[in-house]
Every structure is written in C-alpha cells, then in structure tokens.
Amino acid sequence: MTDGRPARVSRKRALAGVAAALVLTVAGGGALFASRGGGSRAEALPRIVPTTTAASTTTSTAPRTTTTLALPHPTPPPADPYADVPVVQIGTIEIPKIGLVHPIFEGVWLTVVDHGPGHWPGSARPGQIGNAVFAGHRVTHTHPFLDLDQLAPGDKVIFDMPHGVYTYVVTSITIVLPTAISITDPTRTPTMTLFACNPKHSAAQRIVVKGRLVSSHRTDALPTT
C-alpha cells in the first residue's frame, strides 16, 4: 500500500495518508475500508529513548548510553477488506456491564470481524505495553459492540488470553469521524481501544472506548514490548 513517495516521510504525513484512505464501516456489514486515492505506508515504530550519562572518574565525559523501546504500531488498513484470510481466535473479551462474553480474532478484515471483534494487526496485544485496538460490529452478525454506548468510566473490560487474563477499566467514551486514524496511535502504557460505528444503524461516526490496564494475571512470559 505505497503511493510511490520516498520512504523517509514524517509519521504525521504517513498517518495523514492512511487517514485519507480510511473509512471504517463496522455497523452495517459494508466495506470496512474504502480507498480514496491510496494511503502511504506507516513509518518505523515510534521510539522511547530515555538517556542516562555515566559518572566520570576523569576530566573527560563518559559516553552517553541510550535504551530504546519500540512500541507496537498498527499496520495500514487492509487493501482488500474481503480478503480470504484465516479466521483465528486469539482469546475472549468480557464486558460485564453489558453482559458481553465473546471470542476475539486476529485481523480487521470484514471476513474476520464478521465472526467477532478483530484485533488490529501490529497494535499491542492485551496485557502488552501499547494500545490494543479492536474493531467490532454494532448491529450486524453477532453485534458484539451493540451496547458500547452504555459504558462509562470505571467499567471493566476483561481479556482472557492464552498467556493470561488482563483487566482494563474504561477511561473515556468519545465519538469521532470515520477518518480519525489517531484512535489507533501507540501508547507508552498498556491501554485498549474498542471502536464501532455510531449511531446504531449508521456509519456516519465511530464510537470509541478507551481504557487502561489495571490488573494482570499471567500464565506465561509474554513479552511486554
């Protein structure tokens, strides 16, 4: 999904290109992504680079050392939302407030999301540092995100994964335009994003539920980056 421009463009410009191409339609079973002129490929992962300076024992200054932490970064939207891709369950989502218990799958192709909430490839997995992003249908198929509008800050969202159980609490519910690709931006702490069409039976907007990780019960050594 490249438009032929040089690879060394700013991340802001790259996301702007993706945003121009992005139409997320998860309510009515239509195309999840519609291209309007093509977008540019996402840039390299953003990096956190804390720096420390070693103490000097002479009149010269010791060399500065750096530590680099690469954040999970979402891939561009799929070129073909109806691609014949495997439907692979990666865990379960539970939202007690709205009585939801549902399998979750890998990918945001419609052929995947039709089965249940889909994890945006490249974004963090539940429990990891970064933004774990999931798209889901609002009123069609199994309509798992039908009642996202009933959530409020403090409500729990629980992911039961093969490597552990991770509990998030809702921090915000917002309404954005379909081109608001910034909802998938990486974060420096473990967060989650759930999104679907808004209002019900319409694709005019997106409802976006954000949350932060408050509890982890690991069953193996999942990497945190």
170-178: average pLDDT:
97
- In the predicted model, is pLDDT for residue 99 greater than 70? yes
Out of 37-46, 114-123, 201-210, least confident range: 37-46
pLDDT value of position 55? 38
- In the predicted model, is pLDDT for residue 7 greater than 50? no
This prediction has a pTM of 0.71
175-191: average pLDDT:
96
pLDDT value of position 124? 97
pLDDT value of position 220? 74
- In the predicted model, is pLDDT for residue 119 greater than 90? yes
pLDDT value of position 219? 84
In the chain, at which residue ranges do the beta strands (DSSP E only) sit?
47-48, 51-53, 64-66, 69-70, 89-95, 100-106, 118-119, 130-135, 156-161, 164-176, 190-198, 205-218
Q: Cα torsion for 78, 79, 81, 86, to the nearest 10°?
A: -60
Encode pLDDT of 120-138 as tens digits: 999 999 999 999 999 999 9
Encode pLDDT of 10-66 as tens digits: 444 444 343 333 444 444 444 444 333 333 333 222 222 233 333 333 344 444 544
Model confidence band, residue 224 (pLDDT cutoffs 50, 70, 90): low
Reported as type and span, the H/E element at residue 141 is: none
CB 178: neighbour CB atoms within 10 A?
18
**Bigger pLDDT: 143 vs 24:** 143
pLDDT value of position 142? 94
Encode pLDDT of 57-81 as tens digits: 334 444 454 445 678 889 988 889 9
190-203: average pLDDT:
96
pLDDT value of position 210? 98
Going from the N-terminus, what domains does the chain have, and what CATH number goes with each? 11-43+74-218 (2.40.260.10)
pLDDT value of position 46? 28
